[in-house]
Structure 1
């Protein structure tokens, strides 16, 4: 029998010092009992989906928090608020950064840009601390999103059990957060970003060549079947504008990566198939064509 006042904290670790700092901060500030599960992944380098599922299986709480070891939470008393929200039957995943829009093109959790982003945290980028603040509304602790950034994802055990991390597809360290949170949103549950908590992420996300390859693989094998998902009503034009903008950004990165030419051509074909008559669409198409000539000829 699981205690309803316990939260299982699950960490896939490669840096014991950072991990200990994260855990110490969580214990000081949560205000609830924590059940800590750390997997030292330095030697085995197991896929994060496998580590998360295995740890969740053996954890002893009805609530789970998958968190990066380089996250420091300083606010006190956040645990009770988190558990109260997770206990609502319609709640899916809760994090500290996310987006209210998901469109069927390859991309990160922040598809659509600042207009659709929800976040309140600090992170370290190029040695400097930066603040990420989007969608803050006075008096609102939780705001609904579709995709959740994997720096921290809290979920009820029963929700995770119905939608475990896809070990067959997620064989590395990328895309697990989008796949997990968007699938749960697509199933009809409500994901949220939590505000009013002082969160410091000691790193910033990067779009590496490895991330690009994994994202392409996940999109064409799985994500492309998911329609436009949005918290707020988005008309067809805005959704298509978001598709064009997101796909342009992704292709721009892909052209400069080590991705095979065949994959870049497939992405370009996808871009040309999008219905649009805006000047920005054609300007972006010209830019991508020029980038191909410059970097791929």
Structure 2
């Protein structure tokens, strides 16, 4: 039995999903809709929904999706019943870099099973990178996150530090992964009609998540992945924040500890480039802020 929790602000998508769930789930469920037209963060909405849940298994999903798998409810219940299972998702990653990053770290570590589309509802395409039915991951994408209610109660969504609609899934799944094993599965297929939005709010919350979860997750460091993730962080950070001594020192908080000499050199050169062209980059940031 599943309690399905949705933070809703798009009636058209919710109505279609409500009908779709009824036609495909194949097991007992309740649908908990938290009306949320931007008045509260998704962490607060999800925690409110979980408090109302009466069933043992919780499923947090976006409303702009549709299920393509018949009888998916029983499949999900079976996955959650296995020992030491944390979160069950349909997209996630088995690597957590030192720098603030989304779960989409690298194709090498990403596991996904989803039909990806957009809000125009056209040309969805299958992304399938799982090799097994259950892939072990740390981070799980928030489009579909299932967990036993008793396990959710140990962690809950972090509404204290995370406001808005970004970072909630990364923070929640990383905290759960410290005690339980999260998985991406390949026997439940959904279609998602959104590609997300990585704006300044996304960056700020992603930084907060990494500061709140600063431990090393994987046993072995991957220098190439660490380098790419850190350079990506620098690019995102200096898109919204000016290049100055204070901000450069702040970014160094997330500098990867284990890199090859060549990767250290590449990052150092990038810093020198930012410093050399800081005036023009800062003017661009100011122009974008004014607009």
Structure 2 length-normalised TM: 0.87
Once the two structures are overlaid, the 10-residue window that deviates more, 202-211 or 154-163, is 202-211
Q: Distance in 1 between matches of 2:78 and 2:189?
A: 19
| Alignment equivalent of 2:157, drawn from 165, 172, 181 | 165
Residue 171 of structure 1: CA displacement? 2.0
Contact 1:27–1:34 (8 Å) recurs in 2 = no
Structure 2 partner of 1:223? 213
> How has the CA–CA distance of structure 1 residues 282 and 125 changed in structure 2, closer, same or farther, with 3 Å as cutoff?
farther
Give the gaps of 5 or more residues in structure 2: 284-291
Does residue 230 of structure 2 align to residue 247 of structure 1? yes
- 1:276 pairs, out of 229, 247, 259, with 259
Paired residue for 1:53, among 22, 35, 47? 47
Map of 1:205 onto structure 2: 196
Q: Give the Cα–Cα distance (whole angstroms) in 2 for the partners of residues 270 and 204 of structure 1.
A: 30
Match for 1:8 among 3, 22, 34? 3
Of the three residues 207, 212, 235, the one matched with 2:220 is 235
RMSD: 2.3
| Distance in structure 1 (CA, Å) of the matches to 2:200 and 2:208 | 12
SS at match of 1:93: strand
Give the conservation status (yes or no) of the 8 Å contact 2:75–2:187.
no
Unmatched segments (≥5 aa) in structure 1 = 1-5
Cα deviations across residues 28-82 of structure 1 (Å, max 9, x unaligned)? 111111200001111x611111111111111110000000001111110111111
1:120 pairs with 103, 113, 123, which one? 113
**Residues 193, 263 of structure 1: alpha-carbon distance in 2 compared, 3 angstrom cutoff:** farther
Shift, 1:143, TM fit = 1.6
TM-score, length-scaled by structure 1: 0.85
Deviation at 1:205, TM superposition (A): 2.2
1:15 CA displacement: 0.4
Residue 40 of structure 1 corresponds to: 35
Aligned residues: 278
